[in-house]
């Protein structure tokens, strides 16, 4: 078996990625938000050009799958009409920004995010997966999510923190984006082909003291399905959003907008709670701690079907479960209590580890897994 190919880049709208069921076209919502017209329009495009499902990624992006080559340009025209497309492909690649989804209109998070978007052209050339997080609410929500440079609420005020560093630089709002660009320039001058992420550069050569000193503020509790100050949260098993059901949910709830998160949760802004059998509404549902990539045949590198067995095993695993079609582990970068890795139609078992770790058992059939004690 050959090792899976690590692409080193993520799909976009202008530059989609070919998968087993067609093109994957990624849409990056600005400030993690689509108004109701945009959200319903995207649902219709998923049915018209894709396979009828929208994927919610762990970067809080939305993906249409199953798009044909001939439909790509017409799809881009429709995305542009919804104001969901950057006119410049280079800006789309740089707009890799996570925002804390509970921001309020015109608060610090939204102001910083808008300024960063406006100044993306000022950034140096950076590796394709290099990203930013703006996490400046009362409590930090994005500390476990991938980002190379973070603007965060600190113990003594706003801080700019390099990923991999325990502390960051105290900054004012007025200078925050200038200093973010300066830190990006420092990274651009120091990274190598082997250290293409900030944490690796910091670990390899250290971080100048000027970028340290300010401690991060407290972390908040993870969000769960249910009501919140903005509206109602719903979970999406494996990040899958059936487009017709999502459109029905938006319309039936009266939501004014859809906000996306990196945690397989959506927020219906201003939406009332309504029955949603196709979504997760119980925070204790084991599907909320279960990750599974699309698997075979949807990904050409996957060596097993994933989501059917993940759904069946989820109630039988006491903690987190990750079912991966190959050893890349795209659906979950961190460790899980139980990880199953596809191999020639069967699965290797890793406990308390990642998909690429050494398994303790190999070649397990789906039937065997259904009778095993996985706790």
Residue percentage of the chain with pLDDT more than 70:
98
Query: How far is the CA of 19 from the CAs of 16, 22, 67, 77, 294, in angstroms?
Result: 9, 5, 10, 22, 10
- 124 secondary structure, DSSP code: P
CA–CA separation, 224 and 138 (whole Å): 18
Model pLDDT, residue 148: 98
CA–CA separation, 296 and 135 (whole Å): 36
Class of domain 286-369: alpha beta
Q: Is-contact 251 271, C-beta < 8 A?
A: no
Residue percentage of the chain with pLDDT more than 90:
90
CB pairs under 8 A, 24+ apart, for 111-116?
A: 111/173, 112/136, 112/151, 112/173, 112/176, 112/177, 113/31, 114/31, 115/176, 115/177, 116/177, 116/180
CA–CA separation, 59 and 333 (whole Å): 12
Model pLDDT, residue 45: 98
CB atoms inside a 10 Å sphere around CB 122: 14
Q: Which phi and psi angles does 45 have, rounded to 5°?
A: -65, -35
Rg over alpha carbons for the chain, rounded to the nearest Å, is 21
- 193 secondary structure, DSSP code: T
**Fold identical between 17-88+227-257 and 286-369?**
no
pTM exceeds 0.75, yes or no: yes
CB atoms inside a 10 Å sphere around CB 319: 12
| Interval 352-366 mean pLDDT | 95
DSSP letters spanning 20-59: TTEEEEEE--GGGEEEHHHHHHHHHHHHHHSSSEEEEPTT
Question: Per mean pLDDT, which range of 2-6, 185-189, 213-217, 236-240 is the poorest?
Answer: 2-6
H-run or E-run covering 259: strand 257-260
Q: Where are the domains of the chain?
A: 17-88+227-257, 103-211, 286-369
User: For 105-132, how does the pLDDT look when each residue is reduced to its tens digit (9 = 90+)?
Assistant: 999 999 999 999 999 999 999 998 999 9
Question: Exposed, middle or buried by CB within 10 Å (0-12, 13-18, 19+), for 350?
Answer: buried
For residue 134, name the pLDDT band (cuts at 50, 70, 90).
Answer: very high
Q: Which phi and psi angles does 244 have, rounded to 5°?
A: -65, -40
Q: Order of strands across the sheet with 346-353?
A: 290-292, 321-324, 336-343, 346-353, 361-364
CA–CA separation, 214 and 94 (whole Å): 27
| Interval 276-289 mean pLDDT | 94
The rounded mean pLDDT for the chain is 95
User: For 316-342, how does the pLDDT look when each residue is reduced to its tens digit (9 = 90+)?
Assistant: 998 999 999 999 998 998 899 999 999
Structure tokens at 282: 């119980």
Model pLDDT, residue 93: 87
| Interval 209-217 mean pLDDT | 98
What topology does CATH give the domain 17-88+227-257? Sulfite Reductase Hemoprotein; domain 2 (3.90.480)
For residue 9, name the pLDDT band (cuts at 50, 70, 90).
Answer: low
User: For 166-185, how does the pLDDT look when each residue is reduced to its tens digit (9 = 90+)?
Assistant: 999 999 999 999 999 999 99
């Amino acid at each position: 078996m050959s090792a899976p190919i690590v692409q080193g880049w993520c799909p976009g709208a202008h530059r989609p990625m070919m998968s087993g069921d067609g093109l994957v076209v990624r849409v990056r919502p600005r400030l993690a938000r689509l108004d109701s017209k945009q959200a319903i329009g995207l649902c219709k495009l998923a049915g018209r050009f894709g396979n009828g499902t929208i994927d919610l990624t762990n970067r809080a992006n939305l993906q249409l799958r199953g798009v044909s080559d001939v439909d790509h340009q017409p799809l881009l025209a429709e995305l542009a009409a919804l104001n969901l497309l950057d006119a410049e492909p280079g800006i789309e690649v740089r707009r890799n920004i996570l925002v804390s989804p509970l921001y309020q209109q015109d608060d610090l998070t939204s102001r910083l995010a808008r300024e960063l978007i406006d100044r993306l052209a000022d950034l140096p050339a950076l590796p394709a997966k290099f990203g930013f997080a703006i996490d400046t609410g009362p409590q930090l929500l994005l500390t476990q999510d991938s980002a190379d440079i973070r603007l965060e609420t600190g113990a003594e005020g706003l801080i700019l923190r390099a990923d991999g560093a325990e502390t960051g630089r105290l900054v004012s709002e007025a200078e925050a984006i200038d200093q973010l660009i300066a830190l990006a320039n420092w990274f651009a001058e120091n990274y190598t082909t082997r250290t293409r992420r900030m944490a690796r550069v910091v670990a390899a050569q250290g971080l100048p003291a000027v970028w340290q000193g300010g401690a991060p503020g407290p972390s908040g509790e993870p969000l769960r399905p249910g009501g919140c100050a903005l509206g109602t949260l719903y979970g999406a098993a494996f990040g899958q959003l059936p487009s017709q059901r999502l459109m029905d949910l938006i319309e039936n709830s009266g939501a004014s907008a859809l906000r996306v998160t990196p945690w397989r949760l959506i927020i219906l802004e201003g939406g009332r709670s309504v029955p949603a059998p196709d979504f997760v509404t119980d925070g204790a549902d084991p599907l909320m701690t279960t990750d599974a990539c699309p698997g075979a045949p949807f990904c050409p590198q996957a060596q097993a079907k994933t989501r059917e067995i993940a759904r069946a095993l989820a109630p039988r695993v006491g903690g987190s479960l990750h079912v991966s079609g190959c050893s890349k582990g795209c659906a979950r970068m961190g460790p899980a209590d139980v990880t199953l890795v596809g191999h020639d139609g069967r699965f290797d078992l890793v406990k308390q580890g990642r998909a690429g770790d050494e398994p303790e058992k190999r070649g397990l059939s789906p039937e065997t897994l259904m009778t095993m004690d996985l706790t």
